[in-house]
Every structure is written in structure tokens, then in C-alpha cells.
Structure 1
Amino acid sequence: MLTLGNIFVLMLLATAGGWLWHAHGLRERTLVLVKQYCERVDIELLDENVAFRKITLLKDGKGRKRIARVYGFEFTVTGEQRHAGQVIMFGPNLGSIELAPHPFREPQSEDPHVVRQPPQVIELDQWRREHRPPPQ
């Protein structure tokens, strides 16, 4: 026979199960967003994983304090070193993705016979003298 206490415990377990199911869905959405970001900035997501760090109150883009989930991940640029990254999610919406300082890869030329020229350095004083308007 079901008592009021048993019904309460069952509802509590169902609520906890629903919350865990929802949290897993948000983690999967976060993983998809991080993969897309890593492809866009030409870095490699390591372990194909994001790890939940904490739930906290943070300001969103409009300056309002909201409950945020913070996830961590690791990435590499060269394949030699691991670097840390962090994702902030406001519900299913992306707050921000932050990457630790890391080296950047040189863009590869499509033609191996093309010689890349070093960037030119322009002295500001020299440029001003050359582009001074004529006296009136």
C-alpha cells in the first residue's frame, strides 16, 4: 500500500532522475558547441569530452545574474602540449568559451613553391612625414 511518505520519495527520485537526464542533455549540447568552436579556430579538442566543473551565479551578456554551468575541456594546437579551456552555459545557451594562452599555427600555403614574405614594419614617424597634407 502506498503511503504519503512513499509517494513523496518516489516523486523525489523522479525529480532527481529528470534533473540528471536534463543535465546530460545540456552536457551533450555543450560538447557539440565546443567541437564546432574548435574546428572554427583550428585547434583539436582532446578526449572528445567536456567535464562539468560547477554551477554558479554569473552575469550574462545583459548584465543580469543567472545560474550558469561551467564546463572544462582540453585542447591542443601542435599535438605536443595540452591546454585548458572553459565553457560557460546559461541553460541551453552558450555564454562564452575561454581558451588558455596557447601558440598559434602558421597558415599553410596551398602552393608549396610560394615563398612567404616577412611582414613589413612601417615606422609611424616616417609614414606621417610621407603622408603629411600639403601646406596651404
Structure 2
Amino acid sequence: MIDLAPWLLGLAIVALVWWRAMGARSAARRAAQAACEEADVIFIDELAFKRIGFSRDGQGSWRLTRRYGFEFYSRGDRRYAGTIEMHGQRVVRVYMGPRPV
């Protein structure tokens, strides 16, 4: 049973990391939908993981940063790109690329 403990601990850590990543993705999706609704454009139901790394927050502390990409359209069939940057579970910035008004 002692030999099984490190495997169970490793599995628990992997599950925790996965759970937090799914929470961040869910928060990013809600932020993208809200930004598209506010900009009066249509969110295309795709959220793509772009990058993970470390960056400084407003107080100068290092934070785990995730960047997600999404697409939207205003009219017709032309798609436009947007990005969401997150520190942990918190949305830091939503950027919606240039689009016709």
C-alpha cells in the first residue's frame, strides 16, 4: 500500500490541475460571450487554448497566465478574432480585433 501512495498523490495533483484549467476555460468562455454580447456581435462557439506562461500582474507579482482565442462575426460570413488573457481563474483582459462597425 505504501508503494501506491506516490501514484495516488500524483494522480490527485494531475486531477487538481485539470480541474483548475477547466474552471479557467469556463470563465474565459463566459467572458468572451459577455464581450460579444456587449459589442453586439455573435460569438462563435469555439474557444481555443493559445498559450500558458508566467507574467506580472498589476502589483508586480508573477502569476500563471493563460491565453485563449475565440472568433466572432458581426454580419455575413467573415470571422474576426479575439483573445482573453487570464491570471489563474480571473479574467485580466479581453481583446476583440478590428471589425467593421
TM-score (norm 2): 0.88
Distance 1:42 1:62 in 2: 33
Question: Counterpart of 1:98 in structure 2: which amino acid?
Answer: Y
Which position in structure 2 is the counterpart of 1:90?
Answer: 87
When residues 39 and 66 of structure 1 are mapped into structure 2, their CA distance, relative to the original with a 3 A threshold, is same
Structure of higher CA gyration radius: 1
Structure 2 runs not aligned, ≥5 long: none
**What secondary structure is seen at the aligned counterpart in 1 of 2:52?**
strand
What is the Cα-based RMSD across aligned positions, in Å? Answer: 1.5
Instruction: Assess if the C-alpha contact under 8 Å between 2:55 and 2:62 holds in 1.
Output: yes
Q: Any idea what the Cα deviations from partners look like across 1:60-79, whole Å, max 9, x if unmatched?
A: 33444422111111111113
Corresponding pairs, count: 101
Which position in structure 1 is the counterpart of 2:4?
Answer: 6
Structure 1 runs not aligned, ≥5 long: 105-136
Q: Does 1:45 align with 2:43?
A: yes
Question: Counterpart of 1:53 in structure 2: which amino acid?
Answer: K
Distance 1:61 1:102 in 2: 29
Q: Does 1:71 align with 2:53?
A: no
**RCO (CA 8 Å, sep 6+): is it higher in 1 or 2?**
2
Which position in structure 2 is the counterpart of 1:130?
Answer: none
**What secondary structure is seen at the aligned counterpart in 2 of 1:50?**
strand
**What secondary structure is seen at the aligned counterpart in 1 of 2:72?**
strand
Give % identity: 31
**What secondary structure is seen at the aligned counterpart in 2 of 1:71?**
strand
TM-score (norm 1): 0.67
- Out of 12, 15, 18, the residue aligned to residue 17 of structure 1 is 15
Question: Counterpart of 1:74 in structure 2: which amino acid?
Answer: E
Question: Counterpart of 1:43 in structure 2: which amino acid?
Answer: V
Q: Any idea what the Cα deviations from partners look like across 1:21-72, whole Å, max 9, x if unmatched?
A: 12111111111111111100111111x2312112112233344442211111
**What secondary structure is seen at the aligned counterpart in 1 of 2:55?**
strand
Question: Counterpart of 2:27 in structure 1: which amino acid?
Answer: R
Question: Counterpart of 1:91 in structure 2: which amino acid?
Answer: G
